[in-house]
Amino acid sequence: MSHATGDNTRYAVEFITVRRSTNMAIDIGINEEDRKSIVDGLSRLLSDTYVLYLKTHNFHWNVTGPMFRTLHLMFEEQYNELALAVDLIAERIRALGFPAPGAYSVYARLSSIKEEEGVPGAEDMIRQLVAGQEAVTRTARGIFPLLDKVSDEPTADLLTQRMQVHEKTAWMLRSLLDER
């Protein structure tokens, strides 16, 4: 799902515009309009990351079957890592001078990852988490053109690190389904 069109972008801009965090000028070499655009992208990334965190935690609680122990422990590692990532992304949003979104309703609007009801089987859990990891990677990758344009190296560094984690995690999950 593209974030460049539709209600997601408009909602992020409205949320950020209304809720500016400080009256003190921020002079980091990136103008306010560009910082707001970066924050819009980071807000979508935060939303994707949080929805993936919740999905992973849900699967940790509800996984069953012959791979129970392996998946239960793996999912726990993954949701703990995602919890740390949520904090890093939110803190970067704050450093850019805007409040980080923190409501489930905002995450649901901005996330490209769909919440699914019910409890899938273990293999479907793995497939959904691979798709979620890849979605977060695509969201992060989509922010880079603006970061390059305005020379926002700190955000680019954060996104590079996040993409490495998500690509590696997707590979590890896919490996569980490889029957060769």
Contacts of 156 (CB under 8 A, 6+ apart): 144, 147, 148
pLDDT, one tens digit per residue, over 89-123 is 999 999 999 999 999 999 999 999 998 889 999 99
Residue with tokens 């489930």: 104
The CATH number assigned to the domain with range 7-177 reads 1.20.1260.10
The Cα 61–Cα 65 span in angstroms is 13
Q: Is the pTM of this model over 0.95?
A: no
> What residue ranges do the domains of the chain occupy?
7-177
